[in-house]
Chain A
Amino acid sequence: MLLADFGTSYTKLFTMAEESEPRIVPTRELDPAFMADLATGHNAKRRGRESVNELIALAKGGRRLIAEPDAVLLDCGSRDIKFIRYQDFEVADMGWNAECGASMGFTIELLESYYNIDYTTVAVPETGFSVTCGVLGMSNIFDAVVTGSSETEAVAKFVRGIARNAFRFAGSPDRLYLSGGLCDNPLFLGCFPCVVIPLGRFVLLEGLKEHLRSKESH
């Protein structure tokens, strides 16, 4: 049974009963005919024999990984952001922003390679740009560079703006569980004005496992 989280930029794969750890493959490197048995993510309906809604996978995956009854889980993907708020172990609120949250993760990765920045060495800035989305925020970087900021400083302020925007989208919690590839970006994590607990990139795969488990138990 092959499980897959078909993200916009990266696909996370896990073969039940065969693998101990999931694999990550750039989505653009997948064979066009590649299919999974159970899928979630942007391309799930096209590439999955059975698909699970991303928010449902996130909610179920988060529930498997988070022990607290009340918690907020934020998933920052390449093209969108999603959050789940749990209360008494149940989903109390949720959100999915594919418009104003557009291209956040994608833009942060794009800037990393364009400006040749190593995010592990960049200090968290004290101030940031007001960034609504990845696309609209880009001009702030160019303006800052023109007025004397270093490229690294400008990108750091941009990343801070994106993190603050995602934080507000999730309801400005005191503690935030984070999911997605940006869990590996220390600058991004450091820009949140709250306690951040990174859960890594495989929360949606955990949701697929939970989906299977609940199907089997019925």
Chain B
Amino acid sequence: MQKIIGIVGIPPLEIIRQINEEQGKIVDLDEPQLPLSMNRETHLPQVYCAILRTVMLNAMNMPLDRVYIDVGPGKCDCALHVATVLQNFLTIPIITTRNRDSEGFGYPICRSNLPLLEKLQAITQGVQSCKPSPDYPPSVPTAGFWGVPPRDFSLLSLFPDSTHVYGWSRCMENKTPADMELESSCNPAVPTVFFAQSFCAKTALAKHLAERHPKGLYVDCDVNAGSSVRAKIEAFLELSRDAASAVPAASTASTDNGSPGDDHAAG
């Protein structure tokens, strides 16, 4: 009988390989899997990362055979504590991992012209495989999305298809979730939204990078992206577009960050 195995964060590739070999079904517990209200989750404080509250909600209400939770530098300290809570409530094995994988698999999806929502769906789906992403031709970016896959994917529909993905999402596709250098990299030539889940430690990095970026906007949101968050992103992208169209093409920045074909800004 096929085992159903929950994962939180990105367990090391070796673990994914083992699960694939035993033909287990991987369930990403970071994503909403059940049509249940978040209020049903009562074991964590209400003021806590919405992704980890989602993990709790899923893990407590799904028929799982075991769970792998990455608690190393590629995830967060909060996941470590959530692992403890789950170990105390569930009888199935809750296995903590510390992913230090450093072999880069590339990030063609991040640089592609797919709609941003599809990009993030493909990236999160890719975590369940040991293979690199399919090859996509790189696009010319007009906007950037830096951060983790949001709890509420609907906010991604506000971005143009030519949005490039940075931050931990790029590390996910590259299968190196603890690569701080890759996580911190972005393109100063494109207007970039620096997103983090409210109450996540990554809010500090997101805010810091947004402040240093010449055209950066820091945004955080909790369970759902409310109207003010959506309006902020919408306004930022539109006003950035207006500003870019007002600048003569010759003076518009076109930056090469060292990766051929990557991240040239549209003029």
Q: List residues of chain A with CB under 8 Å of any chain B CB.
A: 53-56, 59, 80, 90-91, 93-99
- Give the complex CA separation of A145 and B2 in angstroms: 67
Contact B227 A98 (CB under 8 A): yes
Please measure, in the bound complex, the distance between the C-alpha atom of A54 and the C-alpha atom of B246, giving whole angstroms.
21
CA distance A171 to B226 in the complex (A): 23
Is A56 a contact partner of B243 (Cβ separation < 8 A)?
A: no
Q: List 28 A-B contacts (CB under 8 A).
A: A53-B231, A53-B234, A53-B235, A53-B238, A54-B231, A55-B231, A55-B232, A55-B234, A55-B235, A55-B239, A56-B234, A56-B235, A59-B239, A90-B246, A91-B239, A91-B240, A91-B243, A93-B217, A94-B232, A94-B235, A94-B239, A96-B228, A96-B231, A96-B232, A96-B235, A98-B228, A99-B226, A99-B228
A180 → chain B, closest Cβ, in Å?
Answer: 16
A36, B227: Cα distance in complex, Å: 21
Residues of A contacting B243 in the complex (Cβ-Cβ under 8 angstroms): 90-91
> Please, which residue of chain A has its CB at the minimum distance from the CB of B236?
A94
A96, closest chain B residue (CB): B228
Seen from chain B, the residues whose Cβ lies within 8 Å of a Cβ on chain A are: 217, 226-228, 231-232, 234-236, 238-240, 243, 246
Complex Cα–Cα for A165 and B240 (A): 27
Q: What total of A-B pairs shows CB separation below 8 Å? A: 40
Contacts of B226 in A (CB 8 A): 98-99
Which A residues touch B235, using CB under 8 A? 53-56, 59, 94, 96
Output the least CB separation between B198 and chain A (Å).
Answer: 10
Q: Residues of A contacting B231 with CB < 8 Å?
A: 53-55, 96
Smallest CB–CB gap between B227 and chain A, Å? 7
CB proximity of B179 to chain A, nearest CB, Å = 29
Q: Which of B227, B231, B234, B246 has the most CB of A within 10 A?
A: B231
Once bound together, how far apart are the Cα atoms of A99 and B228, in whole Å? 9
- CB distance B217 to A94 under 8 Å? yes
Residues from chain A with Cβ under 8 Å of B238 in the complex: 53, 56
Chain B residues closer than 8 Å to A55, beta-carbon distance? 231-232, 234-235, 239
Which A residue's beta carbon lies closest to that of B240? A91
5 smallest CB-CB distances across A and B, nearest first, come from A55-B235, A98-B228, A96-B228, A91-B239, A56-B235
Q: How far is the CA of A55 from the CA of B235 in the complex (A)?
A: 6
What residues on A are CB-neighbors of B227 within 8 Å? 98
Determine the distance from Cα of A158 to Cα of B235 in the docked complex, in whole angstroms: 31
- Residues of chain B lying within 8 A (CB to CB) of residue A59: 235, 239
Q: In whole Å, how far is B253's beta carbon from the nearest beta carbon of chain A? A: 14
CB distance from A210 to the nearest CB of B (A): 11
Which A residues touch B228, using CB under 8 A?
Answer: 80, 96-99
Given contacts A53-B235, A56-B238, A98-B228, could you give 17 more A-B pairs where the C-beta distance is less than 8 Å? A53-B231, A53-B234, A53-B238, A56-B234, A56-B239, A90-B243, A91-B240, A91-B243, A93-B217, A94-B235, A94-B236, A94-B239, A95-B232, A96-B232, A96-B235, A98-B226, A99-B228
A45 to B239, CA, bound (A): 19
User: A93 — which chain B residues lie within 8 A by C-beta?
Assistant: 217
Question: How far, in whole Å, are A95 and B231 apart by their CA atoms in the complex?
Answer: 10
Q: Which residue of A lies closest to B215 (CB)?
A: A92
> Distance (Å) between the CB of B53 and the closest chain A CB?
18
Write the nearest CB–CB distance from B143 to chain A, whole angstroms: 15
Complex formed: what's the CA distance from A95 to B228 in Å?
9
Q: Provide the residues of chain A in CB contact with B239, threshold 8 Å.
A: 55-56, 59, 91, 94
Could you tell me the distance between the alpha carbons of A97 and B227 in the complex, rounded to whole angstroms? 10
Q: Which residues of A contact B236 (CB under 8 A)?
A: 94
Give bound CA distance, A94 to B232, whole Å: 8
| Smallest CB separation, B214 vs chain A (Å) | 8
- In the complex, A144 Cα to B240 Cα: how many Å? 46
Can you name the residue of chain A whose Cβ is closest to the Cβ of B226? A98
**Closest-CB distance, B197 to chain A (whole angstroms):** 15
Q: How far is the CB of B235 from chain A (nearest CB, A)?
A: 4
Complex contacts, B234 vs chain A, CB 8 Å: 53, 55-56
Cβ–Cβ < 8 Å partners of A95 in chain B:
232
CB of A48, distance to nearest CB on chain B (Å): 14
Q: B232 — which chain A residues lie within 8 A by C-beta?
A: 55, 94-96
Rounded to whole Å, the gap between the CB of B219 and the closest CB of chain A is 10
> In the complex, which of the residues A59, A91, A95, A98 has the most CB atoms of chain B within 10 Å of its own CB atom?
A91
Residue of B nearest to A218 (CB): B245
B232 to chain A, nearest CB (A): 5
